[in-house]
Amino acid sequence: MVSAGEATVKLRGVAKRYADIIAVDYVDLDVKYGEILGLLGPNGSGKSTTLKMILALIRPDSGSVSVLGIEAEDDPVAVKRQVGYVPESPRLYEFLTGLEYLDFVGDIYGLDASEKKGRIEEYLEAMELEGREGDMISSYSQGMKQKIALISAFLHKPKLLLLDEPLSGLDPRSARIVKDLLRKLTAQGVTTIMSTHILEIAQAMCDRIAIMYEGRLLALGNMKELRQKARLPGSDLEDVFLKLTGTEDVREVVEALLK
Amino acid sequence: MPVPKWLVVARNEYRIRINSIRTIRPYFPYLVIALLAVYVAFIAPAVVSLFIDDLLAFFLSQVALAMVPIIMFIIFFYFIILPITYTLQGMQAGQVEIFLAAPIKPSDVLLGEFLGVMPFYAIAITVMAGFFTAALNPLGLDMLQIAITVIIFVATFLSALWIGTVIAALVRTKFAKSARGRDVGRALSLVLALPMIAVMYAIMGGGLLEALADPGTSGMVRAILSLLPSSWGAEVIVNFASNPGNIGAVGFETLTRFGGLVAFFVAVLWLGTKAANRAYSIEPTTFTASRAKPDGFFYRTVRYLGGGGSFGTLLVSVFKDYGRRLENLSRIAYIVGLIAMVNIFFGGGFDDPEAALLMGLFLFPFLAVLVVGQVTAGGKESLFIYKKTPFGVGRFVKARLLQGWLVAVPIGVAITVVSMISIPQTTLISLLTYTGFMALIVAANVTLALGLSLLNPEFSENTRTQMFGLIVNAQVAMFVSLGIFIGSLIVLDLGFLNTVLLQTVVIWLLGIVFLYLGKRRFSRIE
Ligand SMILES: Nc1ncnc2c1ncn2[C@@H]1O[C@H](COP(=O)(O)OP(=O)(O)OP(=O)(O)O)[C@@H](O)[C@H]1O
Ligand SMILES: [Mg+2]
């Protein structure tokens, strides 16, 4: 078992390609126990693919993934038991009520009845969904669906959270609730990897940030290390990000467009 | 102890199915069982006896009886290949992510999903069995015998469906990995239908009508058939029929065969799960990146036929969407292949054009449903694209209709011409007349099928759900054709040409009504 100080997730030479597209290009990555790692990168840079490989949802073409000391390749079910996953566009069962859905998720993860009931109530309340749990999911707003997806990732008290743009669709207040919740879980030793496009969130929430570009891991470190790497002391994450991914000229592009 | 995972999945699947009637959900099973019992015991026999006089009824029951092993076998086989061909053609399982992310064995998902929809398959099978027992009614079976007959139907065909489901899952994991494999799978799904056709042919000895009159002729075929589980049940039914109202007469045999069948069903469920665990995986299948080519001659023609302009463009995009989702095309290849094979095998058996057309008359509704497919609209989101534009839904429906006609009518015409031309009695006039009518009937069937699928649009990406919707639509369309046919040819004795005429008119009327209702329903979805 993995404990403090050790890497919760280890990627070694992980690569994945789809036909002629290289989605992930030989990535080595250690995620530390109890940290929140932010995964940043332009669209199509391989963030979601990386998360899916950590979950043992898809198999890398080469390289190895180890999660909490388990080789994903050998025992994907054991990995999945320890992980909570929020996909980038969660598809829920539209024709169940929120409560029925969470109930189902709890059963799938083998929670016992009283524990399940307690946790569902607790999370519904925390996410300010109480009163709506009896409604059909198809009648939920985008953000409400996202909250249900988040709850179903938290429900079985996973040791590792893989969150693919977890705050998308959430209003500021709800985003705040989720952020607080994540901090609390981190304090309890839960490790989190989250991808996001909102740089302020990454800057504020993440202990370290990994920047991906065209399937490669461009840079990894905390804010200070990233600034050094980009040779932009004192600047914010946006400048660092744009410089590292070589898209500094976006400003020019935007200006040209506005002309 | 925690609930087994497959049970969790099954319960969930079941809940989703009956979501629209959630207020009566707790009583649903009792209600359905009661209704089905009333249907089998009273309604179906009453309906059948309404239409058919005593002599004909007795004749029918004899025929039905003699055909039992054959009917059972054909349906058994059909139910095995149905999920296989369907999966092979579709090739992607629209798995909900939750199963992919959850620590659950693939076999639990497979078994659970199957068990969850099983009640609904059982209902459909019971409806079918009800017609059958009603046809046997003149022989005087008692209630217990009828009940057992229905259970035999259900157990036999559910086993078949499950066997098919497992094989489909295994084959899918084998083939779905590469584009090449998918092509192989599609070809295979066509070939799979061959044995069924061959057996049908062997049983009927080449002559459809002789076989109907004296189906017990071929001893060897019977012997082969008796090895199959579908025949164990058939034997029980035949025993019942020779000892109507006296269940004790062959009690021991009945009990062993019936018990054997039930044991077979349970064993099949268990073994299927084991097999699935070994090989089946629920990895998401990767799609191969495909690049669009510029519009060729075909699309330019389609655009021209659509009158150029924006409707032409809409028509082209509907066509493209259809073509890209290859399974639609392979479905058509499938039905054309099936009809061609039927015609090749039975070609010699028909001695007049009318018998040759008969087959088409019953297959066209099927063809139409397969061509139209399910209105999936690629999920609700893309529906809004159509809805956003004024008259959007109307235009969408018009484009789908035109597209269905353009695909189905030529096939129908080709089938009609091919099956008539080989028959010496065909004159040029009769060829033209019937071809014209058949074209009209196909077009009407497409209209009806589109109406049905609009009334019952399918937003889930689960192939099994979609398959179920297709089966339901096909059954409705078939019943309409069959009903008109029996009504006009047998009951009213109107003659073949009039039957065809009536068929044309009635299906057109129904098609228009359903299309109107379907369009209205579709526009109101939000
Ligand atoms: N199933 C698939 N089939 C083919 N190509 C895929 C598939 N999934 C991802 N890709 C490709 O792999 C690359 C990486 O995709 P991925 O989804 O990991 O990007 P991402 O960083 O999550 O992007 P985004 O910020 O838009 O979510 C892209 O070029 C994408 O087109
Ligand atoms: Mg992504």
Q: Which helix or strand (DSSP H or E) is residue A194 part of?
A: strand A191-195
**pLDDT of the residue at B208:** 40
**pLDDT of the residue at B288:** 41
Nearest residue in B to A107, CA atom: B8
More confident residue, B192 or B291: B192
Q: Is residue B68 predicted with pLDDT exceeding 60?
A: yes
Task: Give the C-alpha separation, A230 to A2, whole Å.
Answer: 33
Cβ(B370)–Cβ(B467) below 8 Å: no
Ligand closest to the CA atom of residue A20: 1
Pocket test for ligand 1, best of A14, A20, A40, A48 (most atoms within 8 A of CB): A48
Q: 3-state class of A234 per DSSP?
A: coil
Q: Apex CA B319: angle with CA B183 and CA B364, to 5°? A: 75
**pLDDT of the residue at A254:** 57
**pLDDT of the residue at B63:** 66
Q: Is residue B286 predicted with pLDDT exceeding 70?
A: no
Helices (H), chain A: 47-54, 76-82, 98-108, 113-126, 142-154, 172-187, 199-205, 223-230, 237-244, 250-258
Atom 17, ligand 1: which residue's CA is nearest? A48
Which of A108, A136, A138, A156 is the mutation pick for testing B, counting most B CBs within 10 A?
A: A108
**B2, B98, B288 ranked by CB distance to A105: nearest:** B98
CB contact under 8 A, B96 and A58: no
**pLDDT of the residue at B348:** 47
Domain boundaries, chain A: 7-221
On chain B, the residues whose CB falls within 8 A of the CB of A96 are: 12, 15-16, 19
% of chain B residues with pLDDT over 90: 0
Task: Give the C-alpha separation, B74 to A124, whole Å.
Answer: 52
CA of A244 to the centre of ligand 1 (A): 20
Task: Give the C-alpha separation, A104 to A156, whole Å.
Answer: 12
% of chain B residues with pLDDT over 70: 54
Q: What is the mean pLDDT of residues B164-185?
A: 68
Contacts of residue A227, defined as CB under 8 A and 6 or more positions apart, other chains included, come to A233, A234, A235, A240
Cβ(A244)–Cβ(A218) below 8 Å: yes
**pLDDT of the residue at B226:** 63
**pLDDT of the residue at B273:** 81
Q: Is residue B79 predicted with pLDDT exceeding 50?
A: yes
CA of A47 to the centre of ligand 2 (A): 5
Task: Give the C-alpha separation, B96 to B310, whole Å.
Answer: 36
| pLDDT tens for each residue of B226-282 | 667 777 777 777 777 777 766 666 667 777 778 888 888 888 888 888 877 766 666
CB contact under 8 A, A59 and B97: no
| B214 half-sphere exposure, CB direction, 13 A CA radius | 7
**pLDDT of the residue at B303:** 72
The CATH-assigned architecture of domain A7-221 is: 3-Layer(aba) Sandwich (3.40)
Q: Which residues of A touch B (CB under 8 A)?
A: 18-21, 55, 57-59, 77-78, 80-81, 83, 85, 87, 90-96, 100, 104-105, 107-112, 136, 152
**pLDDT of the residue at A236:** 74
Is this complex scored with an ipTM above 0.95?
A: no
**A18, A57, A81 ranked by CB distance to B289: nearest:** A18
Average pLDDT score, chain B? 70
Atom 24, ligand 1: which residue's CA is nearest? A43
- Look up residue B347 and give its DSSP letter: G
Q: Is residue B118 predicted with pLDDT exceeding 50?
A: yes
**pLDDT of the residue at B180:** 59
Task: Give the C-alpha separation, A241 to A210, whole Å.
Answer: 10
Q: Is residue B127 predicted with pLDDT exceeding 60?
A: yes
Ligand closest to the CA atom of residue B285: 1
**pLDDT of the residue at B61:** 67
Q: What is the mean pLDDT of residues B437-464?
A: 76
Instruction: Write out the two tokens for A133.
Output: 């749990």
> Within chain A, which residues score under 70 in pLDDT?
1-5, 232, 246-259
More confident residue, B289 or B398: B398
CA of B296 to the centre of ligand 2 (A): 34
Of A129-138, B140-149, B496-505, highest mean pLDDT: A129-138
Task: Give the C-alpha separation, B168 to B185, whole Å.
Answer: 10
CA of A9 to the centre of ligand 2 (A): 19
Q: Is residue B212 predicted with pLDDT exceeding 50?
A: no
Lining residues, ligand 1, CB within 6 Å: A 18, 21, 23, 41, 43-49, 88; B 286-287, 289
Q: Is residue B518 predicted with pLDDT exceeding 50?
A: yes
Cα A75 to its chain centre, rounded Å, is 21
Atom 18, ligand 1: which residue's CA is nearest? A46
| pLDDT tens for each residue of B339-398 | 655 555 554 445 556 666 666 676 677 777 766 665 544 444 455 565 666 556 777 778
Cβ(B52)–Cβ(B127) below 8 Å: no
Atom 19, ligand 1: which residue's CA is nearest? A44
**pLDDT of the residue at B86:** 63
| pLDDT tens for each residue of B197-206 | 555 554 444 4
**pLDDT of the residue at A124:** 92
More confident residue, B474 or B339: B474
| pLDDT tens for each residue of B80-97 | 777 776 665 554 444 456
**pLDDT of the residue at B205:** 44
**pLDDT of the residue at B58:** 66
- Look up residue A220 and give its DSSP letter: E
A vs B: CB pairs below 8 A:
71
Instruction: Band the pLDDT of B56: cuts 50, 70, 90.
Output: low
Instruction: Write out the two tokens for A252.
Output: 């020019």
CB contact under 8 A, B98 and A152: yes
